[in-house]
A and B are shown apart, each in its own frame.
Chain A
Amino acid sequence: MNVLQLKKLTKKYGEFAAVDQLTLAVQEGEIFGLLGANGAGKSTTINMIASLIPITKGEIELLGKNIAKNGKFAKSNIGIVPQELAIYEDMTAYENVRFFAGLYGLRGPELKRRAEEALAFTGLSDKHRSYPRDFSGGMKRRLNIACAIAHRPKLIIMDEPTVGIDPHSRNYILNSVRKLNEMGSTIIYTSHYMEEVEELCTRIAILDHGKVIAEGTKAQLKSIITDQKEIRIDVRSATGLDTRKLSEIAGVRTVTVNDEQNSVSISTDAEVNILNRIIQGLMAADIEIRSVEESQPSLETVFLTLTGRSLRDS
């Protein structure tokens, strides 16, 4: 069953289409990834689904009902984790969750129980009575999630929930997304972190300039590019490497240097074998090679091929 169906959804700001005739279906039980660079239109799409901004054109159906005509029904069944923190610093963690869950009609002992569950779920049980102003960034993000799930929505929408947080909280969040999914919620997860989406999502739509440019499972997306392969070379230090030299080698399509990981990713035509020439090029540049790995294209490459831009750079 389709939990969510977008039909030619469009949002215009003046002449500019932030979301352009988007058609998508999200099925029950999915963790659906919306992947796109900053400004691709992810938040705008989500804001229309959550009835936060008016739709310019097109339709949104939630559980088979048009949300324009069933506003309350739609809102009751959605939980949104906004991109920016949306909590009251001057109320305790528990009071925050309780207040927001209360807006969904929960009350009395049930409200209390659900609020406590949501806090436990996000690992904040011991912070029950603490004020978020004393929380770390990651704890605030988790509270941000707790506030969205206490009313047990059918559809949970998370807009870049891991931006700017420590690895511990990040793992916690990724795990809770999986758990929420196992407990029966359908999830829409937006991110511009390729690895996250690749790790987490069962199905992915790549968004660019407000349009879906590719959609499917990871395998389906990767199979778009069968004429290409990936070479990843770990080096001692890639700083100072002139990528143009490598790009000039016949058969090389793109060269990306990852400074942090000290590695160079090179995609080449699938049929050629030019590994030795690439290694020669690196050695000529005095780059010390540690390991070489040949692999299938990653989502990053898919994105790069489809949009002509790297997700990281944009």
Chain B
Amino acid sequence: MNIWRIAVKELMMFRDVKMLVFMLATPVLLMLIMGSLLSSAFNGSVAVGDIRVLYSDHSEDGSIGADWELWLRQSGTENMVFEKFEGSDAEAMEGVRDGSYSGYAALNPSGFHYYGNSRSSIENSMVSGILSAFADRYKLSIAGAEPELESMVPGSYVKETRLKGSHMPAAMDYFAVAVTTMIILYSAATAGNLIDSERTRNTAIRLLASPISKGEIFVGKIVGTMVLNAGFIAMIMLISKYMYDANWGDNLPMVWLVLLSEIAFALSLGLGISYIVKGKASGIVIMTIIQLACFFGGSYYRIEDNGDFVSMLAPYSPLTWSNEALMDLIYGGETGAAITASALNLGVAAAMLLISAVMMRRREGL
């Protein structure tokens, strides 16, 4: 009951319509700017590092492999390393999924199959181009022996599969998700201020003088802020859906699980840091973490898995967990990453809350 009262109070304190409009306008405008104005640059201007592709030779006499290597040497593909792979298709695909390779080409006399990592879109198109070119020549050279292949439509000889998801999100679809997760992370900054705001307003005195426990105050404030943020995020989702036609997929409950777990993560992170790092410094620490996480988490542009500095650090950004989980969920219908990301978010949240609770009990006041 007391927890409820405190939670409701948190909600009541936020009724300023002007403030709400402003808070909604920020992400909505960001989506517009990044999703439409930057869409020409989307996936186009990213530097391509060394591309590593696996291939396997499925011909009985190893003739395709030999032709392929010859072709590669002649066509002079710089920046691309093709490695012959002797293991099973499944193993090769695993290497693609975990990002060690941009793709895997299975060269079969009856047709080539290319498996590309869905995050490496530029690389994929480059490799597909090379494969198609090779396929055309290969078809010519084997035309005499296997005449029925000639009837194939040019280009269809190479079958392409994206290992994660069937199609790629458009810029607006991507930024609808990325901006939403970024805005959620920014709520860590307000959470850092959650208890401190009661202190500076002296209302902490009244709360502590009343016959409710510190724990109730603590939980009530977190629950209230959680609800507030969830409502706010729901509004952003709706706006992005109806204004920009952003794609949030079919599995909304799962999308919500990821977003809610990220809200819990962000709030407890801010709160935890405000207890661990005392005073003004905590605000700076929180903002630094938020901004690094946004930069490495793909909030400003989509991180290509190309082995550069940013993409190497990307997996450590909490936003990467959530963003990738949501992309998988929306574009691949896969729930595995969503569950992992939610568990990670909630796990960190629990740890941070525990730290805050322990430190609060030791402290005089709130």
Binding site for B on A (CB under 8 A): 50-54, 71-72, 75-76, 78, 80, 82, 84-91, 95, 99-100, 102-105, 147-148
Contact = CB atoms under 8 A, between A and B. Distances in A.
A103 B210 contact: yes
A90 B13 contact: yes
Contact of B205 (A52, A75, A95, A103): A52
Contacts of B13: 88, 90-91
Contacts of A53: 364-365
Which among A87, A95, A103, A104 has the highest number of chain B CB atoms within 10 Å? Answer: A103
B209 A75 contact: yes
B5 A86 contact: no
Given A90-B16, A91-B13, A104 B201 contact: no
B223 to A, nearest CB: 16
B104 to A, nearest CB: 58
B211 A76 contact: yes
Interface of B: 2, 5, 9, 12-16, 201-203, 205-212, 364-365
B5 A103 contact: yes
Contacts of A84: 202, 205
B2 A103 contact: yes
B5 A102 contact: yes
Contact of A86 (B9, B16, B202, B365): B202
Contact of B15 (A78, A86, A90): A90
B179 to A, nearest CB: 27
Given A88-B203, A91-B13, A78 B364 contact: no
13 contacts: A52-B208, A54-B364, A72-B211, A76-B211, A82-B206, A87-B201, A87-B203, A91-B12, A91-B13, A100-B210, A103-B2, A103-B5, A103-B206
A167 B239 CA distance: 53
Contact of A78 (B9, B203, B207, B209): B209
Nearest to B207: A103
Given A95-B12, A103-B2, A52 B202 contact: no
Contacts of B205: 50, 52, 80, 82, 84, 86
Contacts of B211: 71-72, 75-76, 103-105
Interface core residue of A71, A78, A82, A148 (most chain B CB under 10 Å): A82
B210 A104 contact: yes
Contacts of A90: 13-16
